[in-house]
Amino acid sequence: MDKTRAQKGLLSVPVLVAALGYFVDIYDLLLFGIIRKTSLRSIGLSEEQVLSSGEFIISTQMVGLLLGGIIWGVMGDKRGRLSVLFGSIVLYSLANIANGMVHTVNQYALFRFIAGVGLAGELGAGITLVSEFLPKEKRGLGTSMVAGFGLTGAVVAYFISKEFDWRICYYIGGAMGLLLLLLRISVFESGMFNQVKEMEVSRGNFFMFFTDKTRFFTYLKCILIGLPTWFVIGVLVTFADQFGARFDIAETIDPGRAIMFAYVGISLGDIAIGILSQALKSRKKALFIFYGMTAVAMALFFMQKADSANVMYLLCGALGFSTGYWAIFVTMAAEQFGTNLRATAATTIPNIVRGALPLIIMLFKYLRETTDYITGGVITGIIIMTVTLIAAFFTKETFGKDLMYVE
């Protein structure tokens, strides 16, 4: 009986709609990285400006994600998970349509910022809703299914970018988001949220993460365990062309193709870690196995020397697979906190990680200027992995945890 219910749960409307929502989210989130060079050249930038403006625009988008994470997280606990799923998708869909109309770097950055604010709400609210909907023994599988399917949005974005002008790519992303609103009508609010709404308890109070020492350090550790994902995607993969030139790879590396390979890997990794976590009955053990693979993949990436472009793409795929713990990372964030703070935690934490990318880029730029491009990348990677492993070691196990409680 329980098995039948669990199977129905994994294929239920909330899970499927969350997966589709994350698909559109990832399409829009990664689209700039895929069409960065084409779009910036199109508005008249030189090759040097393409690099500097590209770093500026992606950093601006990530700041939007950071701000949006707080806004949508608080709203998710105060007004409900569905309010975020509806509001965020409207904002980022319209912003992406506007991105197809830009003609200057400042316009581009402004609408990527607005899109970032909108994109911040999708994953956290979806993971929270699915985590509270499914039986506790199946949460990891459900959230991994959402992420595994959703992350293929980057693959679709890559192939669409090869068939259509970059402006049309943005219009397609916006249109997909608005169409998704029709599916969202059939989704019901979380039962746990409805129960907590009737209690006299503070909901969505972001400052509660800082008023209690234990809660603060739990929150901080949840952020730090996700840092390698955006170092890999935001630096190693997005700027694979820059690394490729310094590795003496004869062929020009296509960053969009590198991102596509990475996200194929991430999608498969997210499914694999969900199954592994279920088999081990542990989030932490599965996470440490993937951290080990991440370290190996990074080492292989930096050991390249005059290899082919295909080797670079395969290594981007390996980096993607090894950092395919995004769903488990966000699920752990949701499981660490009570129902009155869960959406705030699950939405702000991944977006603070995304919002940390400008700081990671700043660290990388400083180190590459004081050493060289490759050495700067190596040192940045070592620093991030060290911090992450320490945080993960002290993070509590959450597999099978009952989520019906409040802070």
Q: Report how many domains make up the chain.
A: 1
29, 151 Cβ separation under 8 angstroms: no
The answer as to whether 401 is a domain residue is no
Q: Is the pLDDT of residue 190 over 70?
A: no
DSSP-assigned letter for residue 397: P
As given in the structure block, the two tokens for residue 15 are: 């899970």
> 């400083």: which residue's tokens?
366
Helices 326-335 + 105-133 axis angle, to 10: 60
18: domain range? 2-183+206-393
Least confident range of 2-6, 49-53, 227-231: 2-6
The answer as to whether 199 is a domain residue is no
Q: Is the pLDDT of residue 1 over 60?
A: no
- What mean pLDDT comes out for the span 224-243? 93
The answer as to whether 201 is a domain residue is no
d(CA 340, CA 286): 28
276, 332 Cβ separation under 8 angstroms: no
Amino acid at position 156, single letter: V
Q: What Å distances lie between residue 376 and 244, 343, 364, 367, CA to CA?
A: 15, 36, 6, 5
The answer as to whether 358 is a domain residue is yes
The answer as to whether 403 is a domain residue is no
The pLDDT value recorded for residue 2 is 38
Exposure string for 178-190, b = 16+ CB within 10 A, e = fewer: eebeeebeebeeb
pLDDT, tens digit, 9 for 90 and up, residues 92-144: 999 999 999 999 999 999 999 999 999 888 877 778 878 777 777 777 788 88
pLDDT, tens digit, 9 for 90 and up, residues 194-221: 677 677 677 878 899 999 999 999 999 9
Taken in order 205, 189, 404, 393, the sign of the CA dihedral is negative
With a CB cutoff of 8 Å and minimum separation 6, the contacts of 162 are none
The answer as to whether 290 is a domain residue is yes
The pLDDT value recorded for residue 9 is 62
The pLDDT value recorded for residue 278 is 87
> 């660490």: which residue's tokens?
336
The answer as to whether 221 is a domain residue is yes
Q: Is the pLDDT of residue 307 over 90?
A: no
Write the CATH number for 94: 1.20.1250.20
pLDDT, tens digit, 9 for 90 and up, residues 289-298: 999 999 999 9
As given in the structure block, the two tokens for residue 1 are: 């009986």
> 């700027």: which residue's tokens?
239
The answer as to whether 198 is a domain residue is no
With a CB cutoff of 8 Å and minimum separation 6, the contacts of 100 are 166, 167, 168, 169, 170, 171, 174
322, 276 Cβ separation under 8 angstroms: no
193 pLDDT band, cuts 50/70/90, is low
* CB atoms inside a 10 Å sphere around CB 340: 23
The pLDDT value recorded for residue 7 is 42
The pLDDT value recorded for residue 305 is 86
With a CB cutoff of 8 Å and minimum separation 6, the contacts of 104 are 43
Helices 139-150 + 255-280 axis angle, to 10: 170
d(CA 22, CA 29): 10
